[in-house]
Structure 1
């Protein structure tokens, strides 16, 4: 029999439609079977590969599959994120329900699959959608508003239907960022009838999604969402701004992952940076690491480099705050 790790790698590659990994996995299986003198099986595997040689390879990372969405092969895992305990617990429950869906269905219960992520930008909503797809070993489909929303009557609803039709046919996570762009409150007197039709159609598309297709919507402005939208989501997860301790923990984890060493503690640096988001903390440390690498200071002995980076960061933050 083929090695279990190769079979698992092949299945995961097939589920995420990563054709390069499928090809390399099949080649490894063929080589192993040939070494066992299973030449008939090895030759058949090679023949099947040659039949599909004309297929366009999928580049790992991001692959634009249509005008309405971008397909992303997720890399971040839940263990890579710094999430509130309540959010992490709810996500783990959702993942378990999806993995054990057959058991639930034996009792006429479907796993939950509609998740609303709420909170200010930069605190992990997009990363959570990616991690959810990674934990389920499925692709992440990201709705592209610039191609879905048009000025032509009825065309926006049609474009949304096409994206949801694709999601219904696959085991995937469909990510709707800035969800309030589409799901605005229909009682707004300034909105046109077309906006109301788009929201109504969107709600219908969400209702029609099967439970193997997870829809994950994120918003920075939950107060703008139509009231009917709230009832559609089985999980509503809050992503507040991180506390000082959470920022420090995240910074320390990030430093260790990047292999960064320098004299000042993570707490000291975080206090200098102030109450910023996780995304901004990551941006700062990545910028500092680039400066260290380019200067040859891999051990972080140049304290002046850290001070300059902090000063530049504070100037930019002040400029943004003042609208400059």
Structure 2
């Protein structure tokens, strides 16, 4: 929304004595000012409407150094955003679309001057362990804004009316704060309202969630992730301007990832191409845990990296690859279980 539109809304809110609309409009102006690094103006606007708590009542500082107000302190977690897009291995089409979104956000003033808004609603789908959370973190890192994750254990209540109220508190804060708001396991909230097994109350929660998403300004990027996108309400899908799939990695993906994390022959004694073949079938998260296990054993035992990798591959393949009882050679590769033919 342009600055002119916000000023008009501010005048309308004052004329109508609509305090809720007044708060939301000022919150949007505060967020716009902070996005442009006009911190003095943002502080004055916020203080004028009592958005800033006295110093003695401020919440403890989060891991990124910002202050979460008391009303959302128990509902949100701010996580440090340490990895950017260059640190990830993404499908080419996914990376292109995410970079386009980041560019739109960085050049939002140009778009708004032409009555356009940058895209800011993203859905990530795919099996677990393949980078949905990390991609949301990378978007926050690239935009230089807080990376906020909703705590479902605190938001979802047995009294669903309370759940909707807590969601409103979270979204009210997100409207006033340029950030990446991340909703993992989104199917826990955005369920299909046509499901006959769901109660009327949960359907009202979904309806409230959709309204809250629609009301988010474009400087707040909302990223939702789901391992089961088939469970989502059809109206939920319509809200997202980017719908991206992060599939299980192919052998080529794992090969690129190994190069990226420095797992070369010199470090591990294994050819990365062969190691990518052996790790194929697992997710990025599982492959990362494999490498961490290898590094721990190298540090603690001081053994030969190649021997340690071969031993860890045997464990890996028993979990993810071949049939139980298969035998492996000294390099961790499966031996044939086919018996040699005998003369009759």
Same fold (TM over 0.5): yes
1:249 aligned to 2:256?
Answer: yes
Among 291, 294, 302, the alignment partner of 2:297 is: 291
Q: CA deviation at 1:73?
A: 2.4
Cα distance in 2 for partners of 1:137, 1:191 equals: 39
1:235 aligned to 2:235?
Answer: no
Cα distance in 1 for partners of 2:107, 2:147 equals: 20
Counterpart residue number, 2:28: none
TM-score normalised by structure 1 residue count: 0.76
Q: CA deviation at 1:54?
A: 11
Cα distance in 2 for partners of 1:249, 1:61 equals: 34
1:66 aligned to 2:73?
Answer: yes
1:265 aligned to 2:271?
Answer: yes
Contact 2:281/2:320 (CA < 8 Å) preserved in 1? no
Contact 2:63/2:80 (CA < 8 Å) preserved in 1? no
Q: CA deviation at 1:113?
A: 0.5
Counterpart residue number, 2:306: 303
Cα distance in 2 for partners of 1:207, 1:280 equals: 36
1:81 aligned to 2:88?
Answer: yes
Q: CA deviation at 1:315?
A: 3.6
Q: CA deviation at 1:85?
A: 0.9
Cα distance in 2 for partners of 1:242, 1:317 equals: 14
Q: CA deviation at 1:278?
A: 1.0
Q: How many residues matched?
A: 267
Which segment drifts farther, 225-234 or 247-256?
247-256
1:96 aligned to 2:99?
Answer: no
Within 5 Å, which residues of 2 pair with 1:2-17?
none
1:276 aligned to 2:286?
Answer: no
Counterpart residue number, 1:157: 164
* Residue 275 to residue 87, structure 1, CA distance change in 2 (3 Å): same
1:196 aligned to 2:203?
Answer: yes
Contact 2:78/2:148 (CA < 8 Å) preserved in 1? yes
Counterpart residue number, 1:313: 316
Contact 1:184/1:224 (CA < 8 Å) preserved in 2? yes
Cα distance in 2 for partners of 1:279, 1:63 equals: 31
Among 123, 126, 136, the alignment partner of 2:133 is: 126
The alignment partner of 2:268 has SS state of coil
Counterpart residue number, 1:48: none
Q: CA deviation at 1:272?
A: 2.3
Cα distance in 2 for partners of 1:71, 1:145 equals: 14
**1:45-80: CA deviations, max 9, x gaps?**
xxxxxxx89985544599986111101121110000
Within 5 Å, which residues of 2 pair with 1:165-180?
165-180=172-187
Cα distance in 1 for partners of 2:279, 2:65 equals: 31
The alignment partner of 1:154 has SS state of helix
**1:231-284: CA deviations, max 9, x gaps?**
101111111111111111112222359x96132212222322331111111111
Cα distance in 2 for partners of 1:63, 1:260 equals: 45
TM-score normalised by structure 2 residue count: 0.72
Contact 1:123/1:239 (CA < 8 Å) preserved in 2? yes
Which segment drifts farther, 221-230 or 54-63?
54-63
Q: CA deviation at 1:293?
A: 1.1
